[in-house]
Amino acid sequence: MSDKEFGLSRRQMLAGLGTIGVASAGAGLGTTALFSDEESFEGNSITAGTLDMSVTASIEAANEYWAEQVDLEELEATADGEAVTGLQVSDVKPGDWGIICFEFAVGDNPGYIRTRAEGLETSENGYTEPEPTDGDDENDPDEPEGAGELQDFMLAEVYQSFDGGADSDPPRSYLSPSGGDPAAPEGSTLQETYNAFSGGVIMRNSDGEPLEVGSVEDEATAEWCLLLYVPEDVGNIIQSDSLSFDLVFEAEQVRNNDVPFDGDSAVSETATPDPTATPEPTATPTPDPTGTPDGTETPE
């Protein structure tokens, strides 16, 4: 083999090293890797619960005159969102009566129910004769104290339930007592019942605890009935008088609510009966001795 000399200039040597360096860098880019992982919980959402109460009012029974004014089978109204006009009866006379029952249904979640009375308005309608006066113009329609007496002579009693199969004489024979509820016992006038309910009365079960309507423990629905009755012995003093009032029903959730409706002490005292107490007799308004049972004017 002949000897050959290999000569590399400085430029050639640097060029060659540069080529090798580029190749090494390229190999490094092609083989680099980082450990990685990815997990996720998707579609998370929170939806608030709902509480929906509906109230259905129906006239279950009435005397002949009221029954002629309203169709007992057709007169049923349900309030579920918007206010609904209730009972409207005119030309009421002594002896007239009607029973209105309210059924409550609470959906989606159990709820407590409270009833409030508000907006009572009375009027003499500009007619004072033959109503008696005592010399102080107590029946003068222009006097604040002479704004009608119907609310003091019409009875408004609250009962737990209605039984249309009763075979005795109405009106109270159809009704079951409300467990001694002192808010509106037998003999309560409309004014007295309005005063008792103006602060709100919570519906309660037989144990005296707030009723959980819509729960398995208590009832899916609940009911109470109102008897409106003008006794036969009421005389001329109510002639032409009129009144109007509103009933407001409220529902409040049961869950996480140990003291419903902010624990209103007035409501609790009104709605919770004392089983050991002896009820005091309710005074019956004294009728006009000159009046007649049909409300007609007595000739002078």
- Token readout for 291 is 């009046």
The upper half-sphere exposure of residue 18, i.e. CA atoms within 13 Å in the direction of its Cβ, equals: 6
pLDDT of residue 86: 76
The dihedrals phi and psi of 220, each to the nearest 5 degrees, come to -75, -35
One DSSP character per residue, 165-230 reads T--S-TTGGGEE--TT-TTS-TT-BHHHHHHHHTT-EE-B-TTSSBP-BTSSSSBSEEEEEEEEE-
The number of residues in the chain equals 300
- Token readout for 153 is 């002579």
- Token readout for 152 is 């003091």
pLDDT of residue 181: 54
The upper half-sphere exposure of residue 242, i.e. CA atoms within 13 Å in the direction of its Cβ, equals: 10
Nearest CA to 150 out of 88, 73, 234 is that of 234
pLDDT of residue 243: 92
d(CA 181, CA 172): 16
If you search the block for the tokens 């609790």, which residue do you land on? 268
Residues 117/156, Cβ–Cβ less than 8 Å: no
Handedness of CA 264, 266, 269, 272 (dihedral sign): negative
**Coil, strand or helix: which one is 31?**
helix
Q: Residue 138: is it exposed, middle or buried by C-beta count within 10 angstroms (0-12/13-18/19+)?
A: middle
- Token readout for 115 is 């009833």
Q: Rounded to 5, what percent of the chain is helix, strand, coil? A: 20, 25, 55
The residues pairing with 115 across neighbouring beta strands, listed in sequence order, are 201, 249
pLDDT of residue 245: 94
Which stretches of the chain are DSSP H helices? 10-31, 64-69, 150-153, 190-197, 265-271
If you search the block for the tokens 């009728």, which residue do you land on? 287
- Token readout for 48 is 């608030």
- Residue-level pLDDT, tens digit, the chain, 300 residues: 555 554 555 455 455 545 545 554 555 555 668 899 999 999 999 999 999 999 999 888 888 888 777 665 566 888 888 888 777 788 889 999 999 999 999 988 999 999 999 999 998 887 655 555 555 555 554 555 556 889 999 999 999 888 887 766 678 888 887 654 557 888 999 999 999 999 999 998 877 889 899 876 666 678 899 999 999 999 888 988 999 999 999 999 999 998 999 855 333 333 333 333 343 433 333 434 334 434 444 333
Instruction: Confirm whether pTM is higher than 0.75.
Output: no
The upper half-sphere exposure of residue 241, i.e. CA atoms within 13 Å in the direction of its Cβ, equals: 28
